[in-house]
Amino acid sequence: MKNKYIIAIDGGTQSTKVAIFDILGTEICSHTVQLRPMDLYGDSRAEHPDDDLWDSLKEACQKAFSKFQGDKNDIIGAGLGSIRCCRALLKEDGNLAAPVQSWMDLRLSKPYEHEDDRVRFVTTTTGYLTHRMTGETKDTRSNYVGPWPIDSATLDWFEDRETFDSFTTPREMLFDLVDPSTVLGKVNESASEATGIPMGTPVVATANDKAVEGLGAGLINDGTVLVSLGTYITSMMVGEENRTDTISYWSNPGATQGEFLYESNGIRRGMATVTWIKDLLGSDIVREAEMRGKSPEAYLEELATEVPVGCDGLYTVLHWLARPDHLHERGMMIGFNGTHKGPHMFRSILEGIAMTMKNKAQAMCDERGIELTNIVVSGGGSKGDLFMQIFADVFGVPAHRNAVTGSASLGAAICTALALGVYKDRQEAIEHMVRRRDTFDPIPENAVLYEKINKMVYKHLADQNNDLLEKSHTIFNK
């Protein structure tokens, strides 16, 4: 099957990316549209403004097609991936009844309660976009993470009426569930006009965005850990067992049937912290980066390479967004002296992310009884060589970077290839579509120093300051 193409939709918290792949996993072209700033209402509500997810998808599709030199008739399908743990409320006609609730919204900690007569359907981001693209009221069963009336064993709506009703979500408002890597429907006329995707193109179900990313990174059950650098940073492994009794990780539905994604605890607003420090350091950084033909992040990495390992004792605790049940948490930078400058702060954030994820990934591996031997790093942050080397040094194992660093988009393409029979199974698809770009080996002296810093200082910082932050929270939240 030559010259066949797959559209991959990768919706995130901060952007929507549309990529076009060939069936060997080569990214032909892509376009990313930044989402508008989230509407935040104190510490309780977070919404995507207006119809931002659909508007950004339309623009990303149109811009990607403007770069596409192939024949649209050779497009065989579109894999639909989007943000997990969000809630979309739809009217009868499929339009939004209210802005999409972000995973950062505290309303997502509880089941939906029907109070607005305009609302006809309650679904996820993938369900909403499926309806927009196909008119179908179907959704992937693998994107229902959180307080939904879904049986974690069968991945279907609870059959027991009493259990179902305890979630306060009427059944007639929920979409029908389908397996990941299966066809949801076909692009309808209005969606084709809006996006440029040929009418009749099959739209394929993926999974929750982290499971799709794991598939696109080529994760197999061999002890490899994937560190996913997104607005939410986490570490992941895969397996075939749905565990419900774990402490350091939890099981999510995978991107193929019978697969489960094991996910450690993570960092909320993780890579958004890198954006925060870039903005804090000001326009001089942006202007200088532009003069050098670099992104601001790449320029800051260049400056941070001159900062010694450990940033001369400057540490960053990444609690820029508190957990819903720990609202007193706050981010911290501790250990300043007069020698510290902007590059120290930037590198300290990178080191804080790496050490935090090392501790969380190690706890997951210890509980699974598996030795951590390799890591794959994905997401935009993995493009930086310094960040990759910090990960290798902090974890003390080789850190791999794949040819496609945005592995969620490749995962959506793999789901499509499986749904349409291009490859017979997950392993064959990975062998044909996932390629490693390079590997960063740990520098021994750096690994020794990071281990000492982590064990003696870093992993104790949050606990040591917890009581003070609780007292501070009571002062400002009476």
C-beta separation of 184 from 205 below 8 A: yes
What percentage of the chain has pLDDT greater than the value 70?
A: 100
DSSP assignment letter at 421: T
On the question of pLDDT at 1 being above 60, the answer is: no
* Entry pTM: 0.86
pLDDT in tens, 148-170: 999 988 999 999 999 999 998 99
Distance, C-alpha 347 to centroid of its chain: 22
pLDDT of residue 262: 95
Identify the residue whose tokens are 């997951």.
364
Domains, the chain, in order of start with CATH, read 5-205 (3.30.420.40), 218-478 (3.30.420.40)
Task: State how far the Cα of 237 lies from the Cα of 363, in Å rounded to an integer.
Answer: 12
Q: Which of 103, 80, 129, 89 is nearest to 13 (CA)?
A: 103
Residue 173 has pLDDT above 70, yes or no: yes
Q: Which residues pair with 96 in a beta bridge?
A: 90
Kindly tell me if the per-residue pLDDT of 216 is higher than 80. yes
Partnered with residue 40 across adjacent β-strands are: 46
Query: Which amino acid is it at 457?
Result: V
176: Cβ contacts below 8 Å, ≥ 6 apart: 137, 138, 139
In this prediction, residues 306-317 reach a mean pLDDT of: 97
309-314 CB contacts, 8 Å cutoff, 24+ apart:
309/393, 309/446, 309/449, 309/450, 310/351, 310/449, 310/450, 310/453, 311/335, 311/340, 311/344, 311/347, 311/348, 311/351, 312/337, 312/339, 312/340, 312/344, 313/337, 314/340, 314/344, 314/345, 314/348
Query: What pLDDT is recorded for position 478?
Result: 73
Structure tokens at 270: 């993780």
Please enumerate in sequence order all residues whose Cβ is within 8 A of that of 460, keeping only pairs 6 or more positions apart, or say none.
Answer: none
- At residue 471, what are phi and psi to the nearest 5 degrees? -65, -40
Q: What is the DSSP string of 114-165?
A: ---TT--EEE-HHHHHHHHHH---EEEGGG--SSSSEETTTTEE--SHHHHH
- What's 82's DSSP letter? -
pLDDT at 406: 84
- On average, the pLDDT of the chain sits at 94
Q: Are strands 39-41 and 45-48 parallel, antiparallel or unpaired?
A: antiparallel
- pLDDT tens, position by position, 8-28: 999 998 899 999 999 999 999
Q: Does residue 90 sit in helix, strand or coil?
A: strand
- pLDDT at residue 88 greater than cutoff 80: yes
- How do residues 411-420 score in pLDDT, each as one tens digit? 999 999 999 9
| Separation in Å, CA 266 to CA 30, 37, 44, 247, 359 | 28, 22, 20, 13, 10
Per-residue pLDDT tens for 392-404? Answer: 999 999 999 999 9
Q: State which amino acid sits at residue 2.
A: K
Q: Answer whether 247's CB lies under 8 Å from 198's CB.
A: no
Q: Give 36's pLDDT tier (boundaries 50, 70, 90).
A: very high
Q: Which burial class, exposed, middle or buried, applies to 352 when counting CB atoms under 10 A from its CB (0-12, 13-18, 19+)?
A: buried
Amino acid letter for position 38: M
**Token couple for 165:** 């009703």
CA-based angle 23:26:230, to the nearest 5? 110
Q: What is the pLDDT averaged over residues 371-376?
A: 94
End-to-end CA distance of the chain: 65
Q: Give the C-alpha distances (Å, rounded to integers) separating 433 from 121, 161, 417, 454.
A: 36, 43, 10, 37
Read off the pLDDT band of 2 (50, 70, 90).
Answer: low
User: What pLDDT sits at residue 120?
Assistant: 96
Residue-wise pLDDT tens digits, 241-285? 888 899 999 998 999 988 899 999 999 999 999 999 999 998 899
Within 8 A by CB and 6+ apart from 192, the residues are 198, 199, 201
